[in-house]
Chain A
């Protein structure tokens, strides 16, 4: 196995990220809207020191949001490429098919990190965090990015077409984001929501990011966060690879083609 095909797949995704400037800019605008609009709005309902702290509390949350959107959308190019035929170019290549999934997830992690670092630079410029905190956030961000890419990979190998995109948005991205403790401390949630947060792997990414920011309350220990993130990512990536190899050797991609003809 040589790295050249992997580098080609990753390179294609990264160069697309920089070519599509609107995508890059919007990926910065979304978290800033959350930070400035929701942060200031909700923050104004809080009192005294809590009010000032809310914006800082939100930094790990919106950083996690950026990672989630970026990694998930990038992993979903597995479905895009299938729809537009480019996947054939990868599938006919002399590499094992699971390498296509792994390369796409490496690309997803990388593009997510690029966007996270851009956001950190913006937040840094706004004076919400110090350089030291920004640096401390990098490693937790990487683990969260991998976790989000793994979630994306799992969704991608099980979705048939990109028509499912709105479904994916409503049923995965929003619940995963809102039920994660990114916007509010988990321990204040009612019981039934609390359980959902606990089974949501993304919550542990958010929590790990919170650990990097002083004076922000956390819900789990660093050990738990790291263990869950690594454990979940490993299992999810294995399932994604297995399902993709199986699926490509069997029907979907070509069944579509043949059923159109009949």
Chain B
């Protein structure tokens, strides 16, 4: 049933001239979920978000937000969603306060209601004492935090975050995720995230992958990782063809990039030290580690025969 889902799409497609930006997307995302749509730059992530938030019209197909058809009443959809754009939507010449007051007015929040909400959000982000500061004087992370605060001023049912941590350093990225987590916990909103920093999506309830506008079914990150294998074995060698032949019966086809081979190891009782001795001088480096979401992504999209992206 469409009306119990936060987001539902059927054959959602966007074409720019000849280019197919998003191809027949079918999604069902339940309320309260933390959903991640993962893929490289230009894969169609932003276009998908823009279609779901009425920022661009779909070429064909349908979409519903909280049971309301997106194309039927764009204004109602915009009231129900919050969108943090990939590039800042703030006015750099104005202060944090002026920016958020302006955004609040655009959402038709009464001034005292807006004030309370701004106070509340700025304290979540630890920016309450910078409220009167001009945006130009803030760091990239702080500006992004204000952008997110702007996106949730009106307590949307569904929050879209388009690459929220792009261009930020690690500490800032961590704090952005803390804020998102807190907002989710306190306000119970559904969050639709796109990112190409895949490790950041491990906290999602569900992830899917998108490449060249095409959706690849994913799942729960933890399960996907577990399903991939027990270990990832990475070998650098000057003779990749021989090593591949030697190890293929045991580990299957590797992903090859020049001299680097990457095998997924399903059994969790492989004696890697023994293996290292067997291979001896033929390899210049060898390491094994637990898989992560990056590996899931690579193994979803890499054609092992070719060792390159599909």
Q: Which of A16, A88, A261 contacts B89 (CB 8 A)?
A: A88
Q: Chain A interface residue count: which class?
A: 20 to 34
For B50, B57, B93, B106, the residue with the greatest tally of chain A CB atoms inside 10 Å of its CB is B106
Closest-CB distance, A10 to chain B (whole angstroms): 11
Q: Which positions 76-94 of chain B face chain A at CB distance < 8 Å? A: 76, 78-79, 83, 85-94
Kindly state whether residue A257 has any CB partner on chain B within 8 Å.
Answer: yes
Q: Which of B16, B75, B93, B108 contacts A255 (CB 8 A)?
A: B16
Interface 9-residue window, one of B39-47, B218-226, B237-245: B39-47
Closest-CB distance, A244 to chain B (whole angstroms): 14
Chain B residues within an 8 Å CB radius of A85: 85, 87-90
Chain B residues within an 8 Å CB radius of A7: 105
Chain A to chain B: the 8 pairs with minimum beta-carbon distance, closest first:
A8-B105, A93-B106, A88-B89, A94-B79, A94-B78, A89-B89, A86-B91, A261-B42
Asked if residues B57 and A89 are in contact (CB atoms below 8 Å), the reply is: no
Asked if residues A258 and B102 are in contact (CB atoms below 8 Å), the reply is: no
* Pairs A–B under 8 Å by Cβ, sample size 6: A4-B105, A89-B102, A94-B76, A94-B78, A95-B75, A96-B75
* A257 and B46 contact, Cβ closer than 8 Å, known pairs A2-B108, A94-B108: yes
Asked if residues B90 and A86 are in contact (CB atoms below 8 Å), the reply is: yes
* A251 and B56 contact, Cβ closer than 8 Å, known pairs A2-B108, A93-B107: yes
Closest-CB distance, A159 to chain B (whole angstroms): 20
Asked if residues A94 and B150 are in contact (CB atoms below 8 Å), the reply is: no
Kindly state whether residue B21 has any CB partner on chain A within 8 Å.
Answer: yes
Closest-CB distance, B224 to chain A (whole angstroms): 26
Closest-CB distance, B15 to chain A (whole angstroms): 11
Closest to A86 in B: B91
Q: Which of B78, B87, B90, B154 contacts A257 (CB 8 A)?
A: B87
Closest-CB distance, A184 to chain B (whole angstroms): 40
Kindly state whether residue A92 has any CB partner on chain B within 8 Å.
Answer: yes
Q: Which positions 233-262 of chain A face chain B at CB distance < 8 Å? A: 248-251, 253-255, 257-258, 261-262
Kindly state whether residue B103 has any CB partner on chain A within 8 Å.
Answer: yes
CA distance A184 to B42 in the complex (A): 56
Closest to B114 in A: A4
The A-B contact count (CB < 8 A) is: 91
Show the binding face of B for A, using Cβ within 8 Å: 16, 21, 41-42, 46-47, 50, 53-57, 74-76, 78-79, 83, 85-94, 99, 101-103, 105-109, 150, 154
Binding site secondary structure of chain A: helix
Closest-CB distance, B196 to chain A (whole angstroms): 11
Kindly state whether residue A91 has any CB partner on chain B within 8 Å.
Answer: yes
Kindly state whether residue A23 has any CB partner on chain B within 8 Å.
Answer: no
CA distance A203 to B154 in the complex (A): 46
Kindly state whether residue A12 has any CB partner on chain B within 8 Å.
Answer: yes
Chain A residues within an 8 Å CB radius of B76: 94
Q: Which of B42, B46, B108 contacts A5 (CB 8 A)?
A: B108
Chain A residues within an 8 Å CB radius of B78: 92-95
Closest to A5 in B: B106
CA distance A94 to B78 in the complex (A): 5
Closest-CB distance, B119 to chain A (whole angstroms): 19
* A92 and B53 contact, Cβ closer than 8 Å, known pairs A86-B89, A86-B91: yes
Asked if residues B89 and A8 are in contact (CB atoms below 8 Å), the reply is: no
Closest to B102 in A: A8
Closest-CB distance, B155 to chain A (whole angstroms): 13
* A92 and B108 contact, Cβ closer than 8 Å, known pairs A12-B102, A86-B90, A257-B46: no
Q: Which of A5, A16, A257 contacts B105 (CB 8 A)?
A: A5
Chain A residues within an 8 Å CB radius of B53: 92
